[in-house]
Amino acid sequence: MARGLILSSLTLTATTTCLFASISKTPPKSFNLSFGLKLIHHHYHLLPLLCSFSVYSSPSQCSIDMSKNTETFSRRMAMAGLEPHHRIALGVSGGPDSMALCVLTAGWKTAGADAVTPENGGFIDGLLAIIVDHGLRAESKEEANIVSHRVSKMGIRCEIACCDWPSGRPKQGQLQEAAREMRYQIFQEVCAQHRIGVLLIAHHADDQAELFILRLSRNSGVLGLAGMPFTSQIFPTYKQSYREVQANQGILVVRPLLEFSKEDMYKICQGGSENWVEDPTNQSPLYVRNRIRMVLNNLSSSTFKFELQALISACRITRTYVDQIGYSLIGDAVVIKDHGYAVIDLQILCPLKVEDICLMKFLSLVLQFVSQRQRQIRGNALKLLMDYIRTFPCKNSVTAAGCYLCPDPGSRGFRVLVCCCSDDCALPSKIEYFESHSQGQGCCVANELGEIIEAEKSYANHLVLDASDVHFLDVNPELVLTEAKKLNIIGESTYNTVLALQKQETAHFRSKTEVISDSASKHGVTPFSKSLQPGQFCYLMDRFILTWKLKTNTDNDELSGLVGYEMDMGEETRSLCCTSCVTGNNKVPEVRHMIESDWLYLAELSKYPLSKNFPQYEVESVNGTERIMDRTSLCLHYASVSAKQALRLLKSIPVAARRSLPVLINQQGQLLSIPSVNFKHCPFLMVHMEFKPKIPLGGGHTSFI
């Protein structure tokens, strides 16, 4: 994202002084989208430029033909399932890439449509530019305001979002990655707030080339060499305070400029008479992408650029095919249980007959879902899983990537359970809280997003790939270049150039000593818990939504299991049965995942009559005085019957899967409820749990077309 203004290399014909003079003295212009059917006129005075700013100003007379660019852009938007009436956000930095995206999107939105109305204040309907002020430099706020005014002149409503760095400014070596993570987090927040489900990003073909060299130098396989996806769903790493965009929908990120080059970006800005800024940090060799970019810019051969893009395209075709196989295997061989674990049927999967690259993709998708990780499983963890799944039938267990895999009891190793690690996991269980909000508008966003994704899938279904069209299915990652040369995808010159770039960046990467602490993975984590207020919602481990409340009375159906115990069911008894066993002395329950002692507690509680050593509990009676609950009271009888029923249900859940089930406890650690098996200690306690994983099976929609 461009920040900080320096002169573009295209502006060397003019001095900085002249540029400043032309901007400050020229009257506000009318922006003309010449390729649309409507003219959009907006008049805004730019803020005064600070003396440290530099900017490129497009020529006033421009004869660049925009028709080819607009046609290509419209086709890519249709491929993504997008139509002009959809609500869309743009990630805008003010650089030539994002400004070109603004030009094309504004023209596409307004062509043949009544998209600009007085009700929208003269802005294009359903289009929002999001400008992120990272706050890492003193001038960033002023720059964001200038970009906002510039984009507003195009008829695009803008919102500037400022980054908050609670842990302080990121370290130099982590700056770009941290800024990117923060940027996408803000994109999701703003999109949710404005009920927008689609975000356009201005990545282009030159960005793909840089990423190819970068990943090649990191020994990435063919799936990584496919680069950035054309479309992908991203999901919040936390539960948002806004309910408009549902957690299991996230937002759809679309990159419609992947067929465009960097040179195209400049021409589009010039064709739209738009100014742009350049980020000075893009010239710093401290960052790997910058080093690769500067080297690639010096390679002016059109043959090299064409062949490199052809190689990337071949990798993307392979990726598309592998994704199709992976999703097909999930549909055939995986069953997801409401208790949060997966069952893989190895007899249907036939792991010995599936190509390694497809099987790895399949395993990565399944474990990503069970562990609810944002990123797919890679590296040594994936190799360990491959070795495990190939030992068909499976007899042992393995822990990898935050998951525990073991044979399904009674399956003789022909089915494998994939459960989320909880108490054995290196990281503590994730617990988040949020308040209840209306879901009405969120459903509209979710429905529109679902329609867009289905429209893109319909388009992609016409691109059915055959294995004969795929070149790198069984190629060692280190031999992708060699195989591409054998297939005449790249020539000898391109092969040698890419190989030299790879070796150069690999040497630079290995020269850095990175010390990664793995102390957290060597120690188990004690289960922890957090208080949950009545009516408040808890999101446990990104998969279970939990809430509770107390009823003022209960019906006979709730107490039907106690009929055989000849208990007094009068109103006084019901009142005494005690709201206080849950929230006595203004204490609220806490949430954690299930541990082994919970099972033992249920086993003891289920015995009737209860032993003399069974714990007694302090409660608050109707008149406010405290006494010790008699072991023959209604609450313990109810809890005993509930425990018996829960134990029967728990026996049907594999031991490994029980460890991630949510439970409700009091502040003394006593078990109050296991909602998964309908256990609760008091008939007045109402606990609701819903299995709603944040990241869906398959990691969300992704397309490399």
pLDDT tens-place string over residues 260-270: 999 999 999 99
- The number of folded domains in the chain is 2
pLDDT tens-place string over residues 676-687: 999 998 888 889
* Per-residue confidence (pLDDT) for residue 431, from 0 to 100: 77
The reply to whether 506 and 622 lie within a common domain is no
Q: Is the pLDDT of residue 212 over 80?
A: yes
Q: Name the β-bridge partners of 641.
A: none
Mean pLDDT of the region 409-433: 75
Domain CATH number, residue 73: 3.40.50.620
| DSSP letter for each residue of 423-453 | TTSSSPPPEEEE-----HHHHHHHHHHHHHH
Of 58, 35, 42, whose CA–CA distance to 109 is shortest? Answer: 35
Beta-carbon-side half-sphere exposure of residue 176 (alpha carbons within 13 Å): 12
* Per-residue confidence (pLDDT) for residue 314, from 0 to 100: 96
Residue 287 pLDDT level (bands cut at 50, 70, 90)? confident
Q: Is the pLDDT of residue 27 over 50?
A: no
Considering the domain boundaries, does residue 697 fall inside one?
no
> In Å, what is the CA distance from 336 to each residue of 304, 325, 701?
47, 19, 18
Q: How many helices (H) and strands (E) does the chain have?
A: 21, 23
Considering the domain boundaries, does residue 531 fall inside one?
no
* Per-residue confidence (pLDDT) for residue 556, from 0 to 100: 57
Of 412, 408, 465, whose CA–CA distance to 704 is shortest? Answer: 465
Query: What are 578's two structure tokens?
Result: 């005690």
Mean pLDDT of the region 474-496: 94
Question: Which residue range forms the structural domain that includes residue 615?
Answer: 552-558+575-683
CA distance 265 to 287: 22
Considering the domain boundaries, does residue 48 fall inside one?
no
Mean pLDDT of the region 257-285: 86
The better pLDDT of the pair 488, 59 is held by: 488
* φ, ψ dihedrals at 357, nearest 5°: -65, -35
The reply to whether 501 and 612 lie within a common domain is no
Considering the domain boundaries, does residue 11 fall inside one?
no
Q: Is the pLDDT of residue 295 over 70?
A: yes
* Per-residue confidence (pLDDT) for residue 17, from 0 to 100: 32
pLDDT tens-place string over residues 354-402: 999 999 999 999 999 998 887 778 888 899 999 999 988 999 999 998 8
Other Cβ atoms less than 10 A from the Cβ of 496: the count is: 13
Considering the domain boundaries, does residue 9 fall inside one?
no
Q: Is the pLDDT of residue 625 over 50?
A: no
* Per-residue confidence (pLDDT) for residue 28, from 0 to 100: 32
The reply to whether 498 and 587 lie within a common domain is no
The reply to whether 279 and 373 lie within a common domain is yes
Helix, strand, coil in percent for the chain, rounding step 5? 40, 15, 45
Considering the domain boundaries, does residue 35 fall inside one?
no
Q: Is the pLDDT of residue 143 over 50?
A: yes
* Per-residue confidence (pLDDT) for residue 534, from 0 to 100: 84
- Helix/strand/coil for 81: coil
Of 155, 133, 143, 250, whose CA–CA distance to 199 is shortest? Answer: 250
Considering the domain boundaries, does residue 318 fall inside one?
yes
CA distance 416 to 683: 37
The reply to whether 510 and 583 lie within a common domain is no
Other Cβ atoms less than 10 A from the Cβ of 620: the count is: 18
The reply to whether 317 and 386 lie within a common domain is yes
The reply to whether 222 and 122 lie within a common domain is yes
Burial of 315 (0-12, 13-18, 19+ CB in 10 A): buried
* Per-residue confidence (pLDDT) for residue 567, from 0 to 100: 46
* φ, ψ dihedrals at 107, nearest 5°: -65, -40
Q: Is the pLDDT of residue 576 over 80?
A: no
Considering the domain boundaries, does residue 177 fall inside one?
yes
Beta 251-254 vs 198-200: how paired, if at all? Answer: parallel
* Per-residue confidence (pLDDT) for residue 42, from 0 to 100: 36
The reply to whether 497 and 579 lie within a common domain is no
Supply the pTM of this predicted model.
Answer: 0.82
CA distance 578 to 625: 13
The reply to whether 73 and 169 lie within a common domain is yes
The reply to whether 587 and 507 lie within a common domain is no
* Per-residue confidence (pLDDT) for residue 13, from 0 to 100: 34
Of 349, 473, 361, whose CA–CA distance to 411 is shortest? Answer: 349
* Per-residue confidence (pLDDT) for residue 569, from 0 to 100: 47
Q: Is the pLDDT of residue 18 over 90?
A: no
Question: Are the C-beta atoms of residues 445 and 86 closer than 8 Å to each other?
Answer: no
The reply to whether 333 and 419 lie within a common domain is yes
The reply to whether 439 and 355 lie within a common domain is yes
CA distance 456 to 453: 5
